[in-house]
Amino acid sequence: MEALPLSADSVNLANSEVMAFHSKRFAVEYGKCGAVHAEEAAILQAAKLGSTSLNHTSIYTTTFPCLLCAKSIINSGIKRVIFHEPYPMKESYEILDSKVTLKKFEGVNAWAFDRLYRATNDND
């Protein structure tokens, strides 16, 4: 299984200013919010950048994908979802469970990792 550096969170955070700008512009021009969920943003960003196919790749999310994101994940060809927190939508789990491998993330989350390993100044 090929693993692209595709993370819903990292794509969302890395492009937060750009996405915020586009969302605000869309809202001003059309009177509606143009924001998308992080999973959708990651998939769209890969397509926009001309990424290789997402077939048989993995996506990492902080929260289990909602039903709309689950459909996008399946249609993009992603085959493995690694999530940190569960999501209380039964339909989302059912649609993903039959099409992709689901794995709950085990390990230190990004915030805890940062707190544990951040360089500190001894003078503080």
**Predicted confidence (pLDDT) per residue in 59-110, tens digit:** 998 889 999 999 999 999 999 999 988 887 899 999 999 999 999 988 777 6
> 69, 40 in Cβ contact below 8 A?
yes
Look over the chain and give the mean of its residue pLDDT values, rounded to a whole number.
75
What is the model's pLDDT at position 113?
72
- Angle, helix 38-48 to helix 67-76, in steps of 10 degrees: 30
Beta strands, E only, 21-87: 58-63, 80-85
Rg of the chain over Cα atoms, rounded to whole angstroms, equals 16
Q: State how far the Cα of 19 lies from the Cα of 38, in Å rounded to an integer.
A: 10
What is the model's pLDDT at position 86?
85
Answer yes or no: is pLDDT of 32 > 60: yes
